[in-house]
Structure 1
């Protein structure tokens, strides 16, 4: 009996050790962090060759450089009621961050932000905000100034055409900066402006450029989402200054350079802040120093002395030594608007409603 009892005890002990061993092998799988859903609302096609594509490139950068992110893009969304409906749908679908990328989305974004306090909204180019809604833009006027210098040095007719979207401060500010760049190197040149009242209408914007060429312009620049103006320049054997992206691939014989955006790092910073709980509402307005704006590589037709002058000015902007909107500045009628030595404040720049001397065109009031 003692032997039998000892044997039974041994079996029971072995069984318990075996079961314990089996239990030790059942390791719990590590929890996978839930992906942060991020949405983008674009006013034109994602591959429009301009403004919307610059944001699409930023979205792609975000996905490649930040783990646990899932993005959605809704393109060609009209400004107004349609955009509010789309933004609201994206918020209700679990997106934690929503970037709305056109000026006309400002009020719709604000309306939706108030209804979804747990979602972070960021609106491009606007000025309104909420606890959970910030806005962002870049000092593209710095790049505009430099591209104006290129145009001023390279023009032969001293007439430069500017195809412009809408007479809002953002566009007026860009025209003024470009013109100041032109005049810095070529006091005899002038900038002719045509308004299209469109963001994305390739045919209309191309036709506007052709009209400017017929009026004597030998360089065409633009504030449009399409490459139509640059195509017009190439077809007529003229030069061009692109916008949003490097447009040289579309018109390699025409494009001297382009004023360009680089949104990717900013998008990554915002989403990281949301993920780690450090995001705070901000009104972001970065410049060349931050890398959010720049100029594209020069075309082979740009002369070496032009490159040297523009490169020096670019460094001056980065160092804070070159202030673009520093007086004396006169309006197109010759009236002194900014006194000698005075630098325009951001508040003034954000409400620009007058043209500097050298611009030919009117601002609809």
Structure 2
């Protein structure tokens, strides 16, 4: 079940690389408040099981929080294939049953949910990792690189060998920005530290991920950061007596001795206030979709391990506050690519379009996006 979701994210990232900014493929045609007809009834549609140990489970945790905080009726559909007919049938059934707020949870639904939004203008649609938008449809995805920057600070603080490693699926923008954020956070502690980036060319392959982690550990890495979902890299790091950083969910149970922190989603921080706006009549979907981050609480890190020293903890808290306040960006200049080319000039910072088109790794990383 995980394979289908991860394959869809791969396609998502490739599609987004072709755009000039997040979710700019289909901007909304109107910037006016949406008016919900009838009492709110919410439906979540998943492409796989919700207990997948990663993406879907993190969103379903958000759904449960929505139910707890708002108390509206919520229905769930799992394992709905990422093709138009299956999605259309699921949405049609929900609308016929009076559901008027529908949350889709996969890139593969992007075109289908746009068709549904046009067909049902009285229904509000929210699309996780989607690429389409309309007057009654808003896609959303978080600024994960912000939290990875903080995780990089933690990792550097426990690395006597000045060598870190990070696994990613494919060399596409959302993976590249996570690796770069992690590497730059580490370099803010020690400019000489290096980050070994290794792409598995798969979104779900526990055996390959375990082997990749072992390969990095053999290159003297003290910390393994995993941008994927399997437990393999954490087990490998734990057996080697090394530290690790998780992703999507709190992975501390996977590596109780070496886990430093995990970069996690808090989808309710977007869903709850957005649904409230839909219900009270003040919701105006962003024409390019929502791109929330630390400031909105949609992405963050879990409590730090006791292994992280006090100085690093203080630095993480200070930088976190600056990012939330908008006074600092992890991608502030001067910033250089691996080949020495300047990516961002001093005094500037990457804009959203450049972030979503990030096709390079930064200076101080080892590995190739080619």
Instruction: Say whether the fold is shared (TM-score over 0.5).
Output: yes
**CA drift at 1:333:** 0.9
Partners in 1 of 2:110 and 2:170 — Cα distance? 16
Q: Does 1:159 align with 2:163?
A: yes
**CA drift at 1:115:** 4.2
CA contact (8 A) 2:40 2:279 kept: no
| Cα distance change, pair 299–135 in 1 and its aligned pair in 2 (3 A) | same
**CA drift at 1:326:** 1.2
Partners in 2 of 1:136 and 1:215 — Cα distance? 37
Task: Name the residue aligned to 1:239.
Answer: 243
> Gaps spanning 5+ residues in structure 1: where?
1-32
Q: Does 1:171 align with 2:175?
A: yes
Cα deviation 1:122-169 (Å, max 9, x = unaligned): 222344322332111222211110101111121122221111022221
Partners in 2 of 1:104 and 1:158 — Cα distance? 40
Task: Name the residue aligned to 2:3.
Answer: none
Would you say how many aligned residue pairs link Structure 1 and Structure 2?
Answer: 327
Task: Name the residue aligned to 1:338.
Answer: 344
Equivalent of residue 61 in structure 1, options 65, 86, 93: 65
Partners in 1 of 2:143 and 2:46 — Cα distance? 21
Larger displacement relative to structure 2 (128-137 or 257-266): 128-137
| Cα distance change, pair 126–91 in 1 and its aligned pair in 2 (3 A) | closer
Q: Does 1:284 align with 2:286?
A: no
The residue correspondences of 1:260-279 to structure 2 (distance < 5 A) are 260-279=264-283
Partners in 1 of 2:200 and 2:85 — Cα distance? 27
Partners in 2 of 1:242 and 1:340 — Cα distance? 32
Please provide the CA RMSD for this pair: 2.2
Task: Name the residue aligned to 2:87.
Answer: 87
Higher relative contact order (CA 8 A, sep 6+): 2
CA contact (8 A) 1:328 1:340 kept: yes
Partners in 2 of 1:38 and 1:201 — Cα distance? 31
Task: Name the residue aligned to 2:317.
Answer: 311
Task: Name the residue aligned to 2:230.
Answer: 226
Task: Name the residue aligned to 1:355.
Answer: 361
| Cα distance change, pair 249–238 in 1 and its aligned pair in 2 (3 A) | same
| Cα distance change, pair 354–247 in 1 and its aligned pair in 2 (3 A) | same
SS at match of 2:295: coil
TM-score by length of 2: 0.81
CA contact (8 A) 1:202 1:226 kept: yes
In our comparison, the structure showing a higher alpha carbon Rg is 1
**CA drift at 1:263:** 0.9
Partners in 2 of 1:328 and 1:92 — Cα distance? 51
Partners in 2 of 1:35 and 1:129 — Cα distance? 21
CA contact (8 A) 2:40 2:100 kept: no
> Gaps spanning 5+ residues in structure 2: where?
1-37
Partners in 2 of 1:150 and 1:104 — Cα distance? 35
Q: Does 1:38 align with 2:57?
A: no
| Cα distance change, pair 243–87 in 1 and its aligned pair in 2 (3 A) | same
Cα deviation 1:201-223 (Å, max 9, x = unaligned): 33332332222223332211121
Partners in 2 of 1:203 and 1:88 — Cα distance? 36
